[in-house]
Amino acid sequence: CLLFQARKLSLRYDKQKHLDLTERAFSPQKPVDTSQLQLSNSFYESSGQWWFSVDSVSLLYNISEEAVFNASEVYAPASSSYRCIHVSSLERYSALLLPGTDQARRWSITFTDFQIQAFSVTSGKFSPASDCTTFLTPAILMGLVTSLILLLVLAYALHMLIHLKHIEHDEEHKADVYFPKSPEHLEQYCVENLTEKNVM
């Protein structure tokens, strides 16, 4: 009743380097153990259909130690499969897996090209996928910021263009402006006028 696949599985404990467990977890010689995936199936009247969700993922280590991650927003209609490029506990991948125990806080886990389907599997094939939607990924956020900057530059350019047209319009209709003469010219003008009067 369950189909599951992932291209890569990596783990990290505290500050140590990442471990790639893909071959050990998904090798053809060893079937995938999905017993530590907790799933549920619920009917929602608002949508009128059944939905399945991954509730938690458990990581077993040192034979008896367990780190539990609660899954958030890993769900799809029961007639579909769920697919996401990254299902991870890391913030840069939207942290769809949240530490549920103190032990889990010391671990990070990442599935790459994650796809799962439960409860409605037929012919051993995945149904059409419902992709995860993370609205504010870093790429989308950078795109929004870049668009905002371009809009501001465009608005400023239009403002300056309109301002220049107003200046040209004012220059064409400007009346003659009287500039008063300097004091030296006024003195010379007065002396010439007095001389003319005396001659007369």
**Residue 85: how many CA atoms within 13 Å on its side-chain side?**
6
Q: Where in the chain is the domain with CATH 2.40.160?
A: 2-132
What is d(CA 10, CA 5) in angstroms, rounded to the nearest whole number?
Answer: 14
- The tens place of each residue's pLDDT in the chain, 200 residues long, gives 688 889 999 999 988 888 898 888 777 776 666 766 788 888 888 878 888 889 999 888 888 889 999 998 888 888 889 999 999 999 988 899 999 999 999 999 999 999 998 877 877 788 888 888 655 555 666 788 889 999 999 998 888 888 777 766 666 655 555 555 555 555 555 555 555 544 45
Check residue 170 and give its pLDDT: 62
Per DSSP, which regions of the chain are E strands? 2-5, 8-13, 19-20, 37-44, 49-61, 65-71, 75-77, 81-88, 97-99, 107-118, 129-131
CATH match for 2-132 among 2.20.28, 2.90.10, 2.40.160, 1.10.287: 2.40.160
On whether the CB atoms of residues 120 and 127 are closer than 8 A, the answer is yes
